Amino acid sequence: MHFFPVRAITLDLDDTVWPIAPAIDRAEDALDAWLQRHAPRAAARWPLAARRRLRQQCDLERPHRAHDMTAQRRWMIERMLAEAGEDVALGSSAYDAYFAARCEVEHYDDSVPSLERMAARLPLAALSNGNACLRTIGLMHLFRFQLGAGEHGAGKPEPGIFHAACARLGHDPGVVLHVGDDVRTDIEGAQRAGLRTVWINREGATWPRRMPPPDLEFTTLTALADWLDAALHPESMSA
């Protein structure tokens, strides 16, 4: 088994700690229900397919804000209300309904026990391009902090967000381990920033041959927690 020094861990959230698709589906259903109740003309004007097209259009029209999912979603909802002739002031309540459901995540079975094991050994930081709130979800006690693309001003795979997290953790990138599911934003991005990497490959995908492989690859966070237990054992590794 290959060991190397690790002093802290940064973790992606969506599709690493929980699957994102069910949460987004719930959020869209919640928004649709809210619109039907409070802004019926917007509900009729903006069914799900139209909302998805508009969401893409928002990023095309405001690429400088594409990293900030909260800002883009709020702007999108206000635009929906305005174009349907509804009161734009309703936008905040509509977004709140969407976001509450977006944070109703269903963790992978291995996630919480593994995070608890890892947090007992090393400081953890959440590093996400999404906008889920760990306090609302109930996992913030396991993390030193949560840093999102919207807060930082740019998202993964840009190196700046990785370096900002390392600075807050108080460690050089070379002893920080980034954990994530996305080949480009998580693994390639962290590699470029000088971090060690773990690819959580739950679906059994094949690593792209054109890219340098991650330091570690596991199908579950449990396997990563097991590796940490062994790597941090004084007889396994000196650091």
What's this model's pTM, rounded to 2 decimal places? Answer: 0.90
- What are the helix and strand counts (H, E) for the chain? 11, 6
Q: Crossing angle, helix 20-38 and helix 91-102, to 10 degrees?
A: 150
- Is 8-19+107-231 assigned to CATH 3.60.60.10? no
User: Distance (Å, rounded) from C-alpha 28 to C-alpha 98?
Assistant: 7
Looking at the chain, which residues constitute the CATH 1.20.120.1600 domain(s)? Answer: 21-102
Q: What is d(CA 78, CA 109) in angstroms, rounded to the nearest whole number?
A: 37
Close Cβ partners of 129 (under 8 Å, ≥ 6 residues apart): 14, 67, 69, 148, 149, 155, 156, 185
Q: Which ranges in the chain are annotated with CATH 3.40.50.1000? A: 8-19+107-231
**Would you give per-residue pLDDT tens digits along the chain (239 residues)?**
678 999 999 999 999 999 999 999 999 999 999 999 999 999 999 999 999 999 999 889 999 888 889 999 999 999 999 999 999 999 999 999 999 999 999 999 999 999 999 999 999 999 999 999 999 999 999 999 999 988 898 989 999 999 999 999 999 999 999 999 999 999 999 999 999 999 999 999 999 988 999 999 999 999 999 999 998 875 544 44
21-102: CATH, from 1.20.120.1600, 3.40.50.720, 2.130.10.10, 3.30.420.40:
1.20.120.1600
